[in-house]
């Protein structure tokens, strides 16, 4: 991945400080977002069902296949062959959206469900 400069201080979202132009070392996003490259893939989010967790349409999802999905994790699953990003509710055997417009998706016995990976991060596009 291309190196980008990293500023030594945070960027003010109020009044800018004239001292905030000091650059630190180069930033490699892979080092921050991807811990296991061989087990990681990226996917584009489609729709608004996860916006309550800050995942919006067209955001980039960083998904780690090496993690064991736990109750409450945001996961990418293939449900009957269709990929979707949802919250895993292991206690009630269902997938949850993060938008009240969408109902929970029950996981029925015999239904084909493959957890493709756990969403570790998302990158917002503005």
Residues 112 and 76 in one domain: yes
Q: Provide DSSP, 25-59.
A: EEE-HHHHH-S-GGGEEEEE--SSTTGGGT--TTP
Whether residues 75 and 98 share a domain: the answer is: yes
CATH number (domain holding residue 111): 2.10.109.10
Under the banding of pLDDT at 50, 70 and 90, the label for residue 4 is low
Same domain, 6 and 60: no
Out of 2, 23, 86, 101, which one is annotated catalytic? Answer: 86
SS (H, E, C) 61-112: EEEECCCCCCCCCEEEEEECCEEEEEEEECCCCEEECCCCCCCCEECCCCCC
Considering only residues 36 and 6, tell me which one the structure prediction assigns the higher pLDDT.
36
8-60 pLDDT, tens digit each:
555 566 666 555 555 566 667 788 889 899 999 999 999 999 999 999 999 99
Domain count, the chain: 2
Residue 91, C-beta contacts closer than 8 angstroms, at least 6 positions apart: 71
Tell me if 59 sits within 8 A of 124, measured CB to CB.
Answer: yes
23 belongs to the catalytic site: no
**Catalytic-role residue among 4, 36, 49, 97:** 49
- CA 27 – CA 120 distance, rounded (Å): 19
Cα separation, 79 vs 77, in Å, equals 6
Q: State which residues form the domain around 96.
A: 35-123
To the query of whether residue 4 is one of the catalytic residues in this protein, the response is no
């Amino acid at each position: 991945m291309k190196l980008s400069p990293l500023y030594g201080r945070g960027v003010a979202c109020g009044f800018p400080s004239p001292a905030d132009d000091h650059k630190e070392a180069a930033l490699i996003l892979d080092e921050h977002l991807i811990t296991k490259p061989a087990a990681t893939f990226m996917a584009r989010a489609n729709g608004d069902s996860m916006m309550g967790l800050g995942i919006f349409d067209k955001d980039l999802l960083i998904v780690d296949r090496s993690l064991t999905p736990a109750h409450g994790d945001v996961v990418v699953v293939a449900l009957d062959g269709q990929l979707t990003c949802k919250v895993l509710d292991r206690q009630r055997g269902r997938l949850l959206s993060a938008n009240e417009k969408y109902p929970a998706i029950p996981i029925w016995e015999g239904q084909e469900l493959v957890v493709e990976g756990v969403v570790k991060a998302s990158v917002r596009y503005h």
